Amino acid sequence: MSHFCLLSKPDQYVAHDWDMLTDVAARNHWLELFDKHFQEVLKSASTQYGRTSGKQVMTARAEFAEVIKGLRENPAGLPSGKLNIIELCRAREAVLRKHRLNDPFGHIKKRENELAASIYPAAVKKLHAMEGPAKWLHLIECVFAGNLFDLGAPMVMHMADKPMDFLSAVENTKPRPWLIDDFDTLLKDLPSTPPVKWAKAVVFIDNAGSDFILGIMPLVRELALSGTKIVLAANELPSLNDMTADETVAVVERLAAVDADLAALLQADMFEVVSTGNDIPLIDLSNVSDELNAAAADADLVIIEGMGRAVESNLDAQFKVDTLWLALLKDTAVAERVNGQVYDCICKYKPV
């Protein structure tokens, strides 16, 4: 594990600079949010692991309550001495894994992947009737719409309880100009006909279901059809409803079974899946897997998707290559920190 090889200034890199030791309002917000959200996590864990998990759930609830109580009394009480969203995520995952509740949303991820996969053929078929700027705009809007499925954001996690209407979600995406809107600059590097400028893209993916299958996959599929090799970089271990590398391989193979173009791309080795070595919904690029760095060494585009990886962490990171950040804001405190509102869209593009 080492720094991500495409960081331009690894010695100056900071994954996440929201210091809750000094920001009391943020500390109160996030401790309350993590405390309440953990109850929802445990409800899902009870379903995932069944009646025999009752003692594990009860013990995990008590232990995490003590963690939160301790941080209210002593904000510097974690082993690192730091308090930020990354540290809170690590503390939550440590409690879950200690009590063998590793993948509490596993059944929901499976269900949402099944539903999104059933919609995928129609979603890519629609692309055949589109071209040029309109197609690329639609693909970016699909990423925003897909990113609504997030079991780590209490404001939207209830959406997982309802049948998904993805087309309505796309239509209801906030219109341009977005909160951060570099789409026009991006479009200059997205020609109407192949090839695009990039030989290889590393794509940090986020959530299961519509986020990955109906948001990211149509976008990267289009890039691959234009000649860009795609490296899908996913978590090593489960965390909330994030995709793992193993799950990503299985889903891509399933989609290829109903998508001849994707199947041909896989046959031509235009897709690769790697583990980032990560195990939380944010990502610290100072500590990623050797597997990721080997795959990324000759990449000339980075895409970071999702509020956790692209806004809560890494929004100000600097890279050696062209970089695209895509996210939908789903938390009031995060939105306020970037001078936006909930459901605002981030399309930040920095070519080198």
Residue ranges per structural domain of the chain = 18-98, 114-350
- The pLDDT value recorded for residue 150 is 72
- pLDDT tens figures, 164-192: 678 788 888 999 999 999 999 999 999 77
CATH number for domain 18-98, candidates 3.30.310, 1.10.3470, 1.20.120, 1.20.1700? 1.20.1700
Which whole-number Å values give the CA distances from 44 to 104, 105, 106, 262, in the listed order? 6, 6, 9, 33
- pLDDT tens figures, 94-144: 999 999 999 999 999 999 999 999 999 999 999 999 999 999 999 999 999
Which strands, in side-by-side order, build the sheet including 271-275? 180-181, 345-350, 322-328, 301-305, 200-204, 229-234, 271-275
CA distance 205 to 305: 6
**Sign of the alpha-carbon torsion through 28, 33, 39, 45:** negative
- pLDDT tens figures, 203-251: 999 999 999 999 999 999 999 999 999 999 999 999 999 999 999 999 9
* 3-class state of residue 3 by DSSP: coil
Nearest to 83 by CA among 132, 21, 125, 164: 21
Question: Whose structure tokens read 């509020």?
Answer: 307
| 15 CB-near residues (< 8 Å, 6+ apart) | 86, 282, 283, 284, 285, 286, 313, 314, 317
Give the pair of three-digit tokens for residue 171. 């239509």
**233 touches 262 (CB < 8 A):** no
Give the pair of three-digit tokens for residue 50. 């069944």
- pLDDT tens figures, 64-93: 999 999 999 999 999 999 999 999 999 999
pTM of the model: 0.96
pLDDT higher than 60, residue 160: no
Q: What length does the chain have? A: 352
pLDDT band at 194 (very low <50, low <70, confident <90, very high): confident
DSSP 201-265: EEEE--BTTHIIIIIIHHHHHHHHHTT-EEEEEEBSS--TTBPBHHHHHHHHHHHHTT-HHHHHH
84: which strand partners? none
Which whole-number Å values give the CA distances from 313 to 85, 96, 219, 345, in the listed order? 9, 22, 22, 16
- The pLDDT value recorded for residue 51 is 87
CATH number for domain 114-350, candidates 3.40.190.10, 3.90.1150.10, 3.40.50.10880, 3.30.70.20? 3.40.50.10880
| 134 CB-near residues (< 8 Å, 6+ apart) | none
CA distance 75 to 175: 40
Q: What is the mean pLDDT of the chain?
A: 95
CA distance 21 to 26: 9
